[in-house]
Amino acid sequence: MKIIPAAEAKTNFGALLDSAQRGPVTISKKGRLVAVMMSVQEYEEHEALKLEHLRKEIRKGLKQLDKGKSADGQVFMKSLIKELD
């Protein structure tokens, strides 16, 4: 993935837009990666993948409930939060 400094992104915004159409561009500021610019098509594909993953996990959970497998809500939330950290 291409990485450019924020000052360059600001100065050459038109070129940045063109680059983002070809692939994601990471923008750094003071040596830290702070943002990624990508085409709308890539963004929509990314969001669709996230949504499909969420739906898959929900279906998996519903199947477990149908089989009588359930967990205490507080225990589940604590494990979920731990997994996300």
CATH class for the domain made up of 2-38:
alpha beta
Mean pLDDT value across residues 65-73: 76
Q: What predicted TM-score, i.e. pTM, was given to this entire model?
A: 0.66
Contacts of residues 70-77 at CB distance under 8 Å and 24 or more positions apart, as own/partner, are none
User: Given this model, what pLDDT does residue 82 score?
Assistant: 80
Name residue 53's beta-bridge partners: none
The whole-angstrom separation of Cα 13 and Cα 55 is 37
Q: Where along the chain do its domains lie? A: 2-38, 41-84
Residues 2-52: pLDDT tens digits? 999 999 999 999 999 999 999 999 999 999 999 999 999 999 999 999 999
Q: Are 8 and 35 in contact (CB under 8 A)?
A: no
Judge whether residue 62 has pLDDT over 80: yes
